[in-house]
Each structure stands twice: as structure tokens, then as C-alpha cells.
Amino acid sequence: MKSALTFSALSMFLAFGCAAPTGESEIESDADNVETDSVSQAQNAPTVCSFQTINGRYLGAVGGGGRTTDVLHTDATRVGSWEKFTLVDPGEGSPIPYGFMTKTGHYLSAVGGGGRITDVMHSDAASYNAWERLTLVSQGGGYYAIQTVDGHYLTAVGGGGRITDTIHSDATRIGAWEKFRVTCGLR
């Protein structure tokens, strides 16, 4: 059964650097600095997050999701409804292979499990399956790489700021374009 992040998964997620679900403070990447009040307030709360590219632009699901072409843009300068993703923990253990649910209730899919530079992502999956598994790999300071099920990383082409050729899924190492600043606790 799919559910929004469980308390234990959420507390682990917060320990690796995301903003507190209350939106009041940023948690450092050092697990010793986790604010237990923020974590305890997050029980049973859905975790809605934004993903900011290294160039300061936001990842957005065009039309709120439900697409197989013109799926993602990386040009948003602020977080709107298309730039919010609900992280879904399928309860498969650690590291957590999240489902990234769009505004329309669809999941992001790495086509073919990853390893592509064309027809890279879809946002029309109605359920969580292998291609919808995306793992966040902490890079410190609130930054994460997004790893596909086949072990590749998502790349914001050009560091972000694009409406065409926006995302690739063929990176085998984490560079600047593979890092996203994750902020959670959005409403």
C-alpha cells in the first residue's frame, strides 16, 4: 500500500538535509543537528517538496503532470503548483525509492528505468512501479542527486532554466547539474 512518507522515513529524510515540514527552519545535513520538535510535528503529514536546480530554477511537471511529451521544465523562478511533488514512500526499506507524485496525482517515470537523453521522463503513471522508483542521494547542504532504478542520475541540462531538452537520465556520476536543492514542507 502506498502512503505519504511514514514517520520513520520522514525523520530519516529530514536527517539528511531537507527543510522541516513546518517550513520554519532548514535542517543541516549533519544528523546530530536534527531538530526533534520539527520531526515530531511531521507525523502523518504528507511531504510536499520542491527541487531547485544548481542555477536556482525549479523543476516543474508541465500541466501538473499526466504527460508523455513536454513533461518537465526547469525554468520556473518560483514554486507554483507545478513545481510541487509529493514524495511517496512505498515502504520498500532503505534507501527509500520514492514515488514523485505530481499535482494531478500521477507519478514521474524514468523511461526505460533511466540511461536516456531523449524521451527521458513521463508524468502519466497512475501507479508506482519500477520506473517510478527515484532515490534521493544526499550531497550535503540540502542538495540531493536523484537516482533512477537502473543507477543513473537525473541531470538538469545546462544546470536548469530550460523548457526543451530539460532533463537527461544518463549520468553515471554526480556533478553540479545532477544536484537539486530539496525543500520540503510546502503547502
Distances (CA, A) of 114 to 1, 37, 54, 149: 25, 38, 21, 7
The model's pTM is: 0.78
Q: Domains in the chain and their CATH numbers?
A: 48-184 (2.80.10.50)
Give the tens place of pLDDT for each residue, 21-70.
333 223 223 333 333 222 222 333 459 999 999 999 999 999 999 999 99
Q: What is the tens place of the pLDDT at every residue in 13-23?
A: 434 444 433 33
From CA 1, how far away is CA 82, in angstroms rounded? 25
